Amino acid sequence: MVYNFNPGPAVVPAAALREAAANLVDFRGQGMSIVEMSHRGQVYEEIHQQAIDRCLRLYGLGPEFTVLLLQGGASLQFAMVPMNLLRPGQSADYISTGHWSQKAVEEVGLVGRTCRLAGSSEAADFSYIPAQAELDLDAQAAYLHLTTNNTIYGTQFQALPRSGGVPIVADMSSDLLSRPLPWDGIGLAYGGAQKNAGIAGLTVVIARREWLDRASVEGVPTVMRYATHTKSNSLYNTPPVFAIYLFGLVLQWIEAEGGLAGIDARNQHKAGLVYAAIDASAGFYRGHARPDSRSLMNLTFKLPDAALDARFCSQAEKAGLIGLKGHRSVGGVRASLYNALDPAGCQALAEFMRDFARQHA
């Protein structure tokens, strides 16, 4: 048995993979594969719309929100957000909690817009999420950008900050569809599907329609305007049809698991198994994230020295625990416990951790 702890592309629900495999050559008796069909045809358009509708339903969102099914990953959104939502003379606030939020800040300057840091945990090696009292928020900011979960460092916003009425833009690439969220303060959220919601190639954008209606289009290339994709229902150009099909299947699986409340309970349980092994190790395993900022998605920790880190990952792989090597900028171990990872995998990892600590402490 193999358990996949890779940080992305990551584990996909087995039920979704089986259904996709069964329909890949001949999609539901159509005589051709889903990847061969026209994206303008009725069969695909139904798949497309059902995915959008199901995503909104899972988050409990009404017609005031829209879902865009795009490409380019979060990296493209780093540019699209300021290009569309920052007008000349405006500034946005950014909270820097890791590598990807830093990339988002850099992109603002590269597209000729302006932002300011409203908070950062860089001085502490991004080991925590800044508390509300640490934030320096501008009441006149066009938006407040944050990364809800930091894949590399293993930190996560336990609750969204109070933004004082400034719309929040959330990069949710590594905790998209992993828990319920209060959407009253969110103007736009985005994330790649390849961690919790499907396979690589699809970027999901969820946004308030009225906010996108006010977005700037002056000087913005047509394909990078939110308005372009809103008006065309994400069919302006050929969409990533297979990734969207898988997205829809994963959303069905999430519904069958009890929706986002059920998935959240599942993820809380899984993370609790591994964090318990860390906390009970008497310091043999040292978590990178402060306890009040711990992620349910990416659990990062180190052993007493780099040699033991490497031995741990090597032996874990032989035991069927795949993808545990930490990011090169942090080192150590990283266990990514995305939605589709079976709880049995977390139990197996926790047992392996206890055995390894007994042998090497």
Among 206, 241, 256, residue at a domain's last position: 256
- Under DSSP, the state recorded for 39 is T
Residues constituting the chain: 361
Rounded to a whole number of angstroms, the distance between the first and last alpha carbons of the chain is 27
Strand partners, 205: 68, 190
Catalytic residue check, 211:
no
Find out whether the peptide bond into 9 is cis, omega within 30 degrees of 0.
Answer: yes
Q: Do 204 and 311 belong to one domain?
A: no
Q: Which of 213, 235, 256 is the last residue of a domain?
A: 256
Point out the catalytic residue in the list 171, 183, 270, 325. Answer: 171
Do residues 302 and 333 lie in contact, with contact meaning Cβ atoms separated by under 8 Å? yes
**Enclosing H/E stretch for 49:** helix 42-59
Rounded distance between C-alpha atoms, residue 179 and residue 357, angstroms? 32
What CATH number is attached to the domain comprising 53? 3.40.640.10
What's the DSSP call for residue 131? P
Token readout for 163 is 């933004």
Q: Is 302 a catalytic residue?
A: no
Q: Which domain holds residue 351?
A: 3-11+258-360
**Are residue 275 and residue 215 in the same domain, yes or no?**
no
* Closest alpha carbon to 148 in 115, 108, 188, 200: 188
Instruction: Provide φ and ψ at 187, rounded to 5°.
Output: -95, -35
Q: Assess whether 202 and 278 both reside in one domain.
A: no
Q: Are residues 54 and 103 in the same domain?
A: yes
Helix axes 99-110, 73-85, angle to 10 degrees: 40
One domain, residues 285 and 195: no
Sign of CA dihedral 357, 155, 107, 216: positive
Same domain, 265 and 234: no
Among 93, 175, 183, 195, the active-site one is: 195
What six digits make up the tokens of 24? 């890949």
Q: Do 40 and 144 have their domain in common?
A: yes
- Cβ burial of 260 (10 Å; 0-12, 13-18, 19+) is buried
CATH number at residue 324: 3.90.1150.10
Residue 250 and residue 293 in one domain = no
Shared domain for 230 and 146, answered yes or no, is: yes
Say what the pLDDT of residue 27 is: 92
Residues 308 and 226 in one domain: no
Long-range contacts of 223-230 (CB under 8 A, 24+ apart): 224/76, 224/79, 224/80, 224/83, 224/84, 225/84, 226/68, 226/80, 226/84, 229/68, 229/70, 229/205, 230/66, 230/68
Catalytic residue among 100, 183, 211, 253: 100
Instruction: Taking the CA atoms of 341, 347, 353 and 356 in sequence, report the sign of the dihedral they define.
Output: negative
* Residue the block writes with tokens 């990892």: 349
Say if residue 230 is in the same domain as residue 135. yes
pLDDT at 213: 87
Q: What is the pLDDT of residue 25?
A: 95
What's the number of domains the chain is made of?
A: 2
Query: Of the candidates 210, 230, 256, which is a domain's last residue?
Result: 256
Query: pTM for the whole thing?
Result: 0.96
- How far, in Å, CA of 16 to CA of 22, rounded? 10
The predicted structure's pLDDT at residue 217: 86
The answer to whether 103 is a known catalytic residue is no
Residue-wise pLDDT tens for the chain (361 aa)?
899 999 999 999 999 999 999 999 999 898 999 999 889 889 999 999 999 999 999 999 999 999 999 999 999 999 999 999 999 899 999 999 999 999 999 999 999 999 999 999 999 999 999 999 999 999 999 999 999 999 999 999 999 999 999 999 999 999 999 999 999 999 999 999 999 999 999 999 999 999 998 888 889 999 999 999 999 999 999 999 999 999 999 999 999 999 999 999 999 999 999 999 999 999 999 999 999 999 999 999 999 999 999 999 999 999 999 999 999 989 999 999 999 999 999 999 999 999 999 999 8
Whether 232 and 175 map to the same domain: the answer is: yes
